Amino acid sequence: MIKLDGETLTLEQLEAIADEDAPVALDARAAAAVDAARAVVDRQAAGDTPVYGINTGFGSLAEVKIPRSALGELQRNLLRSHAAGVGEPLPARAVRAMMALRANVLAKGFSGIRRATLDRLIEALNRQVHPIVPSRGSVGASGDLAPLAHLSLVLIGEGSATVAGDPAVLDGAAALARAGMAPVALEPKEGLALINGTQASTAVAALAVLGAERLARAADLGAALSIDGLRGSFHPFEARLHVVRPHPGQVASADNLLRLLQQSPINASHENCGRVQDAYSMRCAPQVHGAARDAFAYARRVLEIEANAATDNPMVFADTGEIVSGGNFHGAPVAIAADLIVIGVLQLATISERRSDRLVNPVLSGLAPFLTRDSGLHSGYMMAQVTAAALVSELKTLAHPASADTIPTSANREDHVSMSMGAALKAARALELATGVVAIEILLACQAIDLLAPLATSPALAPVHARVRSDVPTLTDDRPPSPDIAVISNLIARGALQRACAIEVK
């Protein structure tokens, strides 16, 4: 059971909620904080002083006073009007992460929601009620208003959702009924509390950075297999070269590559080959992979903070009884972090594709053309490298920072926006593309190892090669590479190759 307290949620716990349906519960101390903040809202709602989000309109309508009798309707209308998203729905894992993050932020005790409403959100998550959330419609200004409105509509019995993995899309009331739940009746500020924050973009970006970290480890495995298959040197990875330029990611990647290549019979066979230096895509792998790793480390730090940050507006301070308007909903930190994820996976992909090109080019590899023994009759992996090139080129178009853009919205009240959702969606797409590129390299590198038999790769890499071969046989006669690329991509995404390795890949 993962306890939500607004302070200690980790990205690994978030992924377990998203992918493994890990159950969650409200921490007892957090519950007291939620109740204290709600008491402040109730006092303000009973008075006549205009307070944004409680008895006024929203955005550029903030100066419009709402009568006390209509405060519940105000919150329902907020959810309805803000559910303006379009495009393909977010995957269920991203929606689950959104739900968990929003519940965690509300548990922090600065939003003024009723505990009963928060409990209903947590119950929906645990009962696998997954709202249908269109992926487009947020500029990351007052947070991710449209995606969170689509999510929250289901709690009041509107919108649409799936339940417990059944692909059938139900209206919100039917989805709740199937899960044995009743709709919630919103009270003052609760609609705003449910949708004001960065939880959609944070959810997508957080899942992307975890995938990017796995990809970085798989990229080290792919590079090591390629370097061995290309009969490259392990000396560029010696620690003494890297401790004098001590970027943490570079040091870690070099250490991985050095340990992965130790005691390789293939390497021993060309110990005195006379080659002075390998190509950059081989000997500079730690520098490039390491820079990507450091970008992911920055993104992780930002997203870990954001996962436990109060992003509502206005903020409720129970200790002083005040409700204060601010701008914690602005997604700039998330946008920049997500843009860095894209740039990082692009670095992994571009250098991986260059190693793939060397593997299929007999002039550069010394191996059979396109890694097939009967080239001409067979085309081997000619098109696999072309696919890698296509993916890399698409990745380059994604690398322009979304955070460089801004566009005024809400009658110019929101005159600077973050584009954090666009950045996060790009990060998810970039991760998918880059995973395919690294999968192609691993496919080709394993074939190169096979062509060098009876020489074998290192003891550390041999189980990785065997894990690939358990699902993807050696290429003899031509066959479509696409299914094999998909299989290896899945192994990368699940961390299966890292687990198969005979040593720890950091």
The DSSP string of 291-312 is HHHHHHHHHHHHHHHHHT----
Question: Are 264 and 457 in contact, with CB atoms under 8 Å apart?
Answer: yes
Number of domains in the chain: 2
Q: Say if residue 245 is in the same domain as residue 159.
A: no
DSSP state letters, 157-182: T-SEEEETTEEEEEEHHHHHHHTT--
Q: Is 300 within a domain?
A: yes
Closest C-alpha among 384, 399, 395 to residue 486? 384
Catalytic annotation present for 381: no
Q: Is 192 within a domain?
A: yes
- Percent of the chain clearing pLDDT 70 (strictly above): 98
Hunting for tokens 């009924």 — which residue is that?
A: 177
Last residue of a domain, one of 179, 197, 215: 197
Last residue of a domain, one of 181, 197, 213: 197
Query: What does the pLDDT look like over 72-103, one tens digit per residue?
Result: 888 999 999 999 999 999 999 999 999 999 99
Q: Is 119 within a domain?
A: yes
**How far apart, in whole angstroms, are the C-alpha atoms of residue 135 and residue 399?**
19
- Reported confidence tier of residue 321, pLDDT bands at 50, 70, 90: very high
Q: Cα–chain-centroid distance for residue 363? A: 39
Q: In this predicted model, which residue has the larger pLDDT, 129 or 61?
A: 129
Q: Is 219 within a domain?
A: yes
The predicted pLDDT at position 271 comes to: 76
Side chain identity, residue 501: C
Residue 359 has pLDDT above 80, yes or no: yes
Q: Say if residue 141 is in the same domain as residue 269.
A: no
Last residue of a domain, one of 129, 164, 197: 197
Q: In this predicted model, which residue has the larger pLDDT, 277 or 337?
A: 337
Quick one: tokens of 372? Answer: 């097939």
Q: What's the CATH number where 142 sits?
A: 1.10.275.10
Residues in the chain: 506
Q: Residue 114: which residues within 8 A CB-CB, separation 6 or more?
A: 34, 38, 187, 190
Query: What does the pLDDT look like over 16-64, one tens digit per residue?
Result: 999 999 999 999 999 999 999 999 999 988 887 887 778 777 666 666 7
Domain residues for the domain of 105 are 2-197
The predicted pLDDT at position 502 comes to: 94
Q: Say if residue 27 is in the same domain as residue 150.
A: yes
Q: Is 141 within a domain?
A: yes
Which of 52, 280, 298, 381 does the annotation list as catalytic? Answer: 52
Question: Are 172 and 153 in contact, with CB atoms under 8 Å apart?
Answer: yes
Q: Say if residue 301 is in the same domain as residue 185.
A: no
Q: Say if residue 190 is in the same domain as residue 213.
A: no
The predicted pLDDT at position 351 comes to: 98
Q: Say if residue 268 is in the same domain as residue 222.
A: yes
Q: Is 299 within a domain?
A: yes
Q: What's the CATH number where 414 sits?
A: 1.20.200.10
Q: Say if residue 117 is in the same domain as residue 155.
A: yes
Q: In this predicted model, which residue has the larger pLDDT, 147 or 57?
A: 147
Q: In this predicted model, which residue has the larger pLDDT, 496 or 271?
A: 496
Quick one: tokens of 343? Answer: 């740039």
Quick one: tokens of 129? Answer: 């009620």
- Per DSSP, the three-state class of 197 is strand
Question: Are 381 and 360 in contact, with CB atoms under 8 Å apart?
Answer: yes
Q: Is 102 within a domain?
A: yes
Neighbours of 378 (CB within 10 A): 19
**How far apart, in whole angstroms, are the C-alpha atoms of residue 356 and residue 373?**
17
Q: Say if residue 120 is in the same domain as residue 258.
A: no
Residue 65 has pLDDT above 80, yes or no: no
**How far apart, in whole angstroms, are the C-alpha atoms of residue 339 and residue 328?**
20
Question: Are 168 and 132 in contact, with CB atoms under 8 Å apart?
Answer: no
- Reported confidence tier of residue 68, pLDDT bands at 50, 70, 90: confident
Q: Say if residue 218 is in the same domain as residue 192.
A: no
Q: Say if residue 306 is in the same domain as residue 331.
A: yes
Q: Say if residue 300 is in the same domain as residue 235.
A: yes
Quick one: tokens of 480? Answer: 């479509």
Query: What does the pLDDT look like over 448-490, one tens digit per residue?
Result: 999 999 999 999 999 999 999 999 999 999 999 999 999 999 9
Query: What does the pLDDT look like over 253-292, one tens digit per residue?
Result: 999 999 999 999 999 888 776 676 899 999 999 999 999 9
Q: Is 334 within a domain?
A: yes
Question: Are 196 and 143 in contact, with CB atoms under 8 Å apart?
Answer: yes
Closest C-alpha among 444, 245, 214, 247 to residue 345? 214
The predicted pLDDT at position 62 comes to: 62
Q: Say if residue 339 is in the same domain as residue 362.
A: yes
The predicted pLDDT at position 61 comes to: 66
Closest C-alpha among 338, 342, 216, 233 to residue 289? 216
